[in-house]
Amino acid sequence: MLKETDKTACKPTSTPIDPNLKLVNAEEDTAVDKEFYQRLVGRLIYLSHIRPDVAFAVSLVSQFMHQPKEVHLQATLRIVQYLKGTPGKGILFKRNRNVNLEAYTDVDYAGSIVDRRSTTGYCTFLGGNLVTWKSEKQSVVARSSAEAEFRAMAQGICELLWLKIILEDLRIKSDEPMRLYCDNKSAISIAHNPMQHDRTKHIEVNRHFIKEKLNSGLICTPYVSSQDLADILTKGLNNNIFEKIVSKLGMENTYSPA
């Protein structure tokens, strides 16, 4: 990718995306080679399956593959510049005694300037090791931050249930409830409250789904601070916070001296 984009001699960046960048359609901007852009982003999408640190940035630039402009290409090239400085970074799986399942969910409410859809991000851990992650724009416009959070929580629960089924097929069982961490106290409160509220009628399906799993003891929903692990999957971050979360995700650089 560095050779194809003529970035072999470029200066690496510390983060894959500018935290202040807000991409739009940019109709008046200069158009770029559509085939080249799609091929480059396609490679980055493939790479994001093993590099959670670039998942959000890749998800963002992939939204403009139908009509890419110069501003979109520059954002994509920044990801390549970041990768140049971190070619050996990857997830280190450590042996642990427990097989507990945990998930962190986060939402950037109405973060897209183009259509005001929210961005969902979640990551799951098995025995303290990161195993799955996702960053994507929600399919509908959320009418409230609570609705956006509930959609993210529901996706996180589905991912945990899928992992639980796989572990049971392997005859690996854990009696501990699966933990779903969320940074929205209102969403957690509504999930635990069995009363009907007019202001939450539009999210009743997700609310009942989450409440059902809570009542069965299958999951629990601890609160976590706003700067949780899933932040890296929903928004651009400054260098200090970015590196801190990347480290917590269990990513290490194999090229670093021992």
Same domain, 52 and 119: no
pTM of the entire predicted model: 0.90
CA dihedral 230, 236, 241, 245 (to 10 degrees): 30
Residue 210 lies in a domain: yes
Same domain, 149 and 45: no
Same domain, 196 and 77: no
CA–CA gap between residue 204 and residue 211 (Å, rounded):
10
CA–CA gap between residue 166 and residue 53 (Å, rounded):
25
Domain boundary among 65, 88, 111: 88
Same domain, 28 and 134: no
Low-confidence ranges of the chain (pLDDT < 50): 196
Residue 55 lies in a domain: yes
Same domain, 58 and 105: no
pLDDT in tens, 56-87: 999 999 999 999 999 999 999 999 999 999 99
User: What CATH number does residue 126 fall under?
Assistant: 3.30.420.10
Q: Which residue has the tokens 């790479």?
A: 47
pLDDT in tens, 143-183: 888 889 888 999 999 999 999 999 999 999 888 899 999 98
Residue 244 lies in a domain: no
Same domain, 9 and 73: yes
Same domain, 67 and 191: no
Same domain, 127 and 219: yes
Residue 166 lies in a domain: yes
pLDDT of residue 116: 94
pLDDT of residue 126: 95
Q: Which domain holds residue 200?
A: 101-233
Same domain, 53 and 163: no
Same domain, 73 and 105: no
Alpha helices in 68-216 (DSSP H): 70-85, 145-169, 185-192, 204-215
Same domain, 78 and 144: no
Phi and psi (nearest 5°) for 106? -155, 160
> Domains in the chain: how many in total?
2
Residue 240 lies in a domain: no
Nearest to 210 by CA among 134, 257, 162, 149: 149
pLDDT of residue 143: 85
Residue 44 lies in a domain: yes
DSSP string of 116-140, one letter each residue = ---EEEEEEEETTEEEEEEEEE-SS
Label residue 82 exposed, middle or buried (CB < 10 Å: 0-12, 13-18, 19+): buried
Domain boundary among 57, 88, 119: 88
Domain boundary among 56, 88, 120: 88
Residue 205 lies in a domain: yes
Residue 239 lies in a domain: no
Angle, vertex CA 157, rays to CA 250 and CA 118, nearest 5? 85
CA–CA gap between residue 238 and residue 232 (Å, rounded):
10
pLDDT of residue 120: 96
Same domain, 124 and 211: yes
pLDDT of residue 192: 78
CA–CA gap between residue 166 and residue 139 (Å, rounded):
27
Q: How close are the terminal C-alpha atoms of the chain, in Å?
A: 28
